[in-house]
A = this chain, B = another copy of it.
Amino acid sequence: MNLDVGAVSGPGRLAAPGEGITTDELALAARNHGLPLEALHYDVTPAGLHYLLTHFDIPAVDAATWRLGVHGRVGSPLAFDLEALRAWPRTTVRVTIECAGNGRARLEPRPVSQPWLVEAVGTAEWTGVPLHTILTEARVDPAAVEVVFTGADHGVERGVEQDYQRSLPLAEAMREEVLLAYEMNGMALPPQHGYPLRLVVPGWYGMAHVKWVRDIAVVDVPFDGFQQAVAYRLRQNADEPGEPVTRMAARALLIPPGFPDFMSRTRVVHPGPVLLEGRAWSGLAPVEHVEVSVDGGDTWAPAVVEGAGEHRWAWRRWTFIWQATVGRYTLSARAADAEGRTQPLTQAWNRGGFGNNEVQLVPVVCFE
């Protein structure tokens, strides 16, 4: 027998017209999970409700033997154990992180991968060492262009055996709010969120926030690893290089009001004033406005958006009072950022299903 990684792994593909969610996609959906939308209630997402996407397995890292190396185009290569890293000045940043593949399962044709509907988001208080202080200590060479982060997670994806690796342009890596985080919501990182150390890159989609970081390499040529050059590209066809996926597009989500049916998740409300509330965020310019529609996007009315100027990298709460009367409705919210970007009613398609910010549709029935 002549076996290799090709025996476990195929190329990416698109679902056939009408093809239901496959067992492979379901296995990913059963492992990973979104934010149950009622958890948009919390400013900071409680442990276990934050969305989670793990490419390979969650490593069980032993903090006693874990080490972080910083090397490459630097004047002073560094190495840390966890205790040494925790001795550096720390900071805490509240950050909303959304999976770059959020909304993928609603695309037509559907890219076959983790089948997110709309819920792959969460907000946490991340505490750790600003990355720029470590890079400054290491004395980055003027020839450096990117910083490559390697996680302890290992596997195969589309035929390529790999450690999970991603890079950041040097200017992004030096932003003051980029962290090497060892706490989430005031506790040690849970295993699934990167224990003992993860990268947090405020404003960027989740793929940039490398978990279980064990190695940082400063490089003088752009990184061309799988997760940088093959996956996480915006492209129409498999054979084009595409554009990199970077920052989160503006998005608003609403908490489905009233109460649900178990299977259809359709909501029931009774006539009268109904408080609609949710969250809105953007990784580009700050969110400034949120509008609400109760007719599937035909007409829109402004919501009240809270928290101006606070927590730039976290979602903002918004509210809207809906005077509900008997009938069937489709509720939506849409965010607009300070540079006028907003959300489409119909998502432009790309082959990876990345960067989706189509408006959410919440079916509601109102009766006495």
Contact = CB atoms under 8 A, between A and B. Distances in A.
A48 B264 contact: no
Contacts of A266: 7-9
Chain copies in complex: 2
A27 to B, nearest CB: 5
A259 B57 contact: yes
A10 interface: yes
A366 B5 CA distance: 10
Contacts of A264: 8-10, 24
Contacts of A28: 263, 265
A3 B366 contact: yes
Contact of A155 (B24, B30, B262): B262
B8 A365 contact: yes
Contact of A20 (B20, B56, B156): B20
Interface string A16-50: 00011111111111111110111101100011111
A58 interface: yes
Contact of A22 (B20, B27, B158): B20
Contact of A259 (B27, B39, B156, B367): B156
Nearest to A116: B30
B48 A52 contact: yes
Contacts of A155: 259-262
Interface in A96-112: 105, 112
Interface string A52-89: 10111110100000000000000000000000000000
A157 B60 contact: no
A57 B269 CA distance: 14
A41 B61 CA distance: 12
Given A30-B117, A39-B191, A155-B259, 12 more contacts: A3-B326, A5-B261, A8-B365, A21-B21, A28-B265, A30-B34, A32-B33, A33-B52, A48-B192, A57-B256, A155-B262, A158-B262
